Amino acid sequence: MNTSVIETSSTGTSALEAARLVLARDIRLALRKRGQLIQPLAFFAIVTTLFPLGISPELSRLRDVAPGVLWVAALLSSLLALEFLFRDDAQDGTLEQHVLSGQSLTWLLFAKTVAHWLLTGLPLAVMAPLAGLSLGVPAAALSGIVVSVAIGSVALSLIGSIGAALTLGVKRSGALLSLLTLPLSMPVLIFGARATELAIRGAGFAPPLYLLGALAVLGITLAPLAAAAAVRISLE
């Protein structure tokens, strides 16, 4: 057996391999700048701490508002993380090279969004139970919270990727980004909070979770296309 035959110095990279490289690069970069990773999580923790201080320390009252608090906080912190999604790549010319790579831009941006979700959405889902406990959520409901936040944040990352790509040409884009992204995210908030609420009550929370999943799937199919169009426009 000749094992060294596949020395493919002249072949192009397959789409799958290209996506894997984009994903690996973003994760490696994020791990080198851990401060940026922690910011949205710290923000999430702080926002959920504000509510008991603003409403009441009684866990029974907090439990009623917990779904809303958790999801609004998740929405805002995912928004905070979005600013990093394309900004650095746009500044150092990496985004331009993605467009000119001969690979499908939609596909590469999808890989970037997956990396973004792994680095921000997934940690959020892991942290949400802690915040839930501090809001009086019973331990039995925590798994429901993890699952709903994990799925919901997929949709949030995807919707957000459109907003982040659209505001690439804008200098101070924070407020505009939220104005563009939040109205589109409202269905995620509705279904996510509903799933959390049902989980807290100990009821079956599968139906809103399915709807959340449907939003995520719709996002996976359409959002990268829109983000790719927006990225091309920002480079025109």
Residues in touch with another protein (CB under 8 A): 2, 5-14, 16-18, 21-22, 24-25, 28-29, 32-33, 88, 92-94, 96-104, 108, 162, 166-167, 169-170, 173, 176, 179-180, 182-184, 186-187, 190-191, 194, 211, 215, 218, 222, 226, 229-230, 232-236
Please say whether the dihedral angle defined by the alpha carbons of residues 207, 212, 215 and 216, taken in this order, is positive or negative.
Answer: negative
Least distance to another protein from the beta carbon of 158, Å? Answer: 11
Nearer to another protein, 1 or 53 (CB): 1
Interior angle at CA 27, CA 119 and CA 222, nearest 5? 65
Nearer to another protein, 85 or 215 (CB): 215
**Distance between terminal CA atoms of the chain?**
51
Least distance to another protein from the beta carbon of 122, Å? Answer: 22
Nearer to another protein, 49 or 101 (CB): 101
CA distance 75 to 65: 15
Least distance to another protein from the beta carbon of 138, Å? Answer: 21
State phi, psi for 3 to the nearest 5 degrees: -90, -15
CA distance 2 to 20: 27
Helix axes 105-116, 206-235, angle to 10 degrees: 130
CA distance 184 to 137: 28
Least distance to another protein from the beta carbon of 134, Å? Answer: 25
Nearer to another protein, 36 or 134 (CB): 36
Nearer to another protein, 31 or 46 (CB): 31
